[in-house]
Amino acid sequence: MATITGIQPRVLVRASGGPRYVVALAVDALGTGLLRPFLLLYGVTVLRLSAPVTGTAMTVGIVAGLVCMPSVGRWLDRGARSTVVAASMLVRVLGVALLLAAPEGHIWLFATASLFLGIGNQAWPAAHAALVATVAHGRERDTALAGARALRNAALGVGALLATACMAGGTTALRALAAVTALAYLAAAALAWSVHVHAHPAEAAPAKDRDDEPAPRMLALLAANVIYVFCLNVPEIALPLVLVTQLHASPVWPAVVFVSNTALVVTLQVPVTVLMSPFSRRTVLALSGVVLAASYLGFLAATSLGHGWATAAVAAVSVVCTIGEIIYAGSATALVTAIAPTHVLGRALARFQLSTGFGLAVSPAVITTLAPHGPAALWGSLAAATLLSASAVATEKDQATRFSGCRPRARAGL
């Protein structure tokens, strides 16, 4: 029976890579949810490192992980799909193993573990998007990408809840969580590799063209994406900072906002993506910027209210911000997969992930720097930058695809 989104669950699973691959996504996200929220605590509590040193090591690991993306893109353009996905999971197994092996006070093993975890976390999105783009096409592919994001957020949430419940066990529990995470990544890698999805770039273009033709530059899209991804850190960083330190609200409120954000993404990501399908992906991505900018201005207005109303108003506006995030997530990667020629898809996705990773890396520093200067500095700056980004996305022209005589893929509705 078809769902309210107009797509059958079996069709969605097939478009997402098949049942085994969907299970692999869920297991991988569950493992990530177990460890990611408490990696800092692992360094501080188990390894007895200082918080600044631990945080710096984690940041360096995330940023250094971006260096692998050009190689990942070239690997994907040689036709690898499920192998790259499995490799992104296996490298995280190595990272967790190093965590478990690190003795107290050993910063270099922790930093190396963070590096391998960063490599896996950066490589996975591009590899996953390339795999889905190989097994599904058109709007079915967009819905599959949206479905995977909803599933991943649900599994991340479950993993985080399980980890929270285990926190009472102290350092022993944290080590156990790390071990379970490694097993989850290992199982997910085996399942992902078993689907044996491989592209055939030789069928897309002659060898000389594959070697010579660069990926689409997408300069405006990549620059705009750096700003767009700030929205992903709004519920985790900006709103807790504003609610607790500026509005002096109970810590319960940031938790409510975060849980609401996760629940809305899980339930609405697929329906909203399908709802937006009659419009071009570029138009939808520009629209998401407008919605996000409107929510930032809403936060600015909400914080100007009296303390009795401001907290609830910020929580209400966060729903609008989440809707903007959902529209963005449902259109951004889909647009890249639509405008990139098949034989350079890997490099295009790698460049997009570089912009995403860079935005996620710098956004905490930008947010925490702007916030002390007042709501206008924080939310006004984010709104202006996001509107400028939306305008750049809307006006950028898609690079003409050069196939040297080969037939291009259908490009309607980009």
Write out the chain's pLDDT in tens, 414 residues: 344 445 667 767 777 778 889 999 999 999 888 887 778 888 888 888 888 888 888 888 888 889 999 999 999 999 999 999 999 999 999 999 999 999 888 889 999 999 999 999 999 999 999 999 998 888 889 999 999 999 999 998 888 888 877 777 778 888 888 899 999 999 999 999 998 888 876 444 454 455 555 666 789 999 999 999 999 999 988 999 899 888 888 888 888 998 999 999 999 999 999 999 999 999 999 999 999 999 999 999 999 887 778 999 999 999 999 999 999 999 999 999 999 998 899 999 999 999 999 999 899 889 989 988 999 999 999 999 999 999 999 998 765 443 333 333 433 345
Distance (Å, whole) CA 146 – CA 6: 14
Return the ∠ at Cα 295 (arms to 293 and 300), rounded to 5°. 95
- 3-state DSSP helix/strand/coil percent for the chain, to nearest 5? 80, 0, 20
198 secondary structure, DSSP code: B
Residues sharing a CB contact under 8 Å with residue 170, sequence separation 6 or more, in sequence order: 45
Cβ proximity of 15 and 134 under 8 Å:
no
Residue 21 tokens, joined = 């691959």
Instruction: Note the pTM of the prediction, 2 decimals.
Output: 0.88
Cβ proximity of 92 and 122 under 8 Å:
no
**Neighbour tally for 36: CB within 10 Å:** 17
Residue 78 tokens, joined = 């040689």
**Alpha carbon of 113 to those of 29, 95, 117, 189, 326: distances in Å?**
18, 4, 6, 18, 31
Q: What is the pLDDT of residue 279?
A: 94
| 350-380 as b/e: b if 16+ CB within 10 A | bbbbbbbbbbbbbbbebbeebbeeebeebbb
Residue 243 tokens, joined = 């609610």
Distance (Å, whole) CA 210 – CA 31: 37
Residues sharing a CB contact under 8 Å with residue 340, sequence separation 6 or more, in sequence order: 215, 216, 348, 349
Residue 11 corresponds to which amino acid?
A: V
Residues sharing a CB contact under 8 Å with residue 257, sequence separation 6 or more, in sequence order: 235, 239, 240, 243, 314, 315, 318
Which residue bears the tokens 């750096």? 226
Q: What is the pLDDT of residue 406?
A: 39
16 secondary structure, DSSP code: T
Cβ proximity of 180 and 34 under 8 Å:
yes
Q: What is the pLDDT of residue 265?
A: 95
